[in-house]
Amino acid sequence: MTPAPSSGAGPELRQLLPKPGRIHAGELLASLNLAARAPVDRPYTIVNFVASADGRASFEGRSGGLSNPADREMFHGLREHVDAILVVTGTLRTERYGRLVRDPDRRRRRAGSGLRPEPLACIFSRSGDIPIDIPLFAQDGVPVVVFTPGRLDTSALAADVEVVRLDPGELTLTTMMRRLRSAYDIRSLLCEGGPTVFGALLQEDLVDELFLSIAPLLTGGGRAPGITNGPPLGELRELSLVWVLESDGALFLRYGRR
């Protein structure tokens, strides 16, 4: 089923590529059809980040200052079109995640296009040190799956949390992806980070697309990460540019695999 476009929502974007024009993020994203591209053994996986013009993924410890209204529309619009959202402990902790889709119209559109009203929140943790005090776990019935080697006491949590215990020998993102596809029928997955898990996904060659917003802002020096962290790849990974959009000086790039 094709999702109804959320036309008119958010600022209008100037499309520079593939063909010049003006469009709303909702109209553009309505034709993504990510699930149809899923390989048999894992979800089709997209990653979304915002960076400053000097390449940092956060300022004063968080990403919010880098965002603008069009970026927020893109961020929530992407959430509208996926089965599940992967976010790991560093970002859960600093960004204090709550319910993933709050807007009733977005929930209705999701349901109308055959998706669950709320995407499955997917957490992968090697240490099992999950920040269960964040708002996400206090929301009634929010679906969450945690892949981790340890135990997690979920009895006091309002969210609907399932814990999948992985042996240390199978504690990889590839294992998690296979389980998401085979046991949860997750065909489209959006990774919202942070940089460490993006780096790890690249190491295991699990990323199909990157949605990157470049803010017209400079952070200066400091220790804030770029959009990837961890060990470098053995060789450069080539991308193909799918679209370029602009709003209020911010650029919105969509890259696929080459």
Choice between 95 and 208, CB closer to ligand NAP: 95
Binding segment for ligand NAP (CB under 6 A), chosen from 34-42, 96-104, 186-194, 239-247, is: 186-194
Residue 18 CB partners (closer than 8 Å, separation 6+): 242, 243
Q: Are 172 and 205 in contact (CB under 8 A)?
A: no
Binding segment for ligand NAP (CB under 6 A), chosen from 10-18, 31-39, 56-64, 181-189, is: 56-64
* Among 14, 37, 62, 107, interactor with ligand NAP by CB under 6 A: 62
- Assess 72 for contact with ligand NAP (CB under 6 A): no
* Distance of closest approach, residue 112 Cβ to ligand NAP, in angstroms: 28
- Assess 77 for contact with ligand NAP (CB under 6 A): no
Binding segment for ligand NAP (CB under 6 A), chosen from 13-21, 28-36, 83-91, 105-113, is: 83-91
Q: Are 6 and 106 in contact (CB under 8 A)?
A: yes
- Assess 225 for contact with ligand NAP (CB under 6 A): yes
- Assess 95 for contact with ligand NAP (CB under 6 A): yes
Using the structure block, give the residue that is written with the tokens 């980040």. 49
* Distance of closest approach, residue 174 Cβ to ligand NAP, in angstroms: 10
- Paired residues of 215 in beta bridges: 52
Supply the Cα-derived Rg of the chain in whole angstroms.
Answer: 18
Q: Strand, coil or helix: what is 40? A: coil
Beta strands in the chain (DSSP E): 12-17, 21-24, 44-52, 84-86, 120-124, 143-148, 160-165, 188-191, 209-215, 239-247, 250-257
Q: Are 27 and 188 in contact (CB under 8 A)?
A: no
Choice between 112 and 135, CB closer to ligand NAP: 135
Can you give the binding site for ligand NAP, defined by CB under 6 A? 49-50, 57-58, 61-63, 66, 88-91, 94-95, 124-127, 129, 173, 192-197, 200, 225, 229
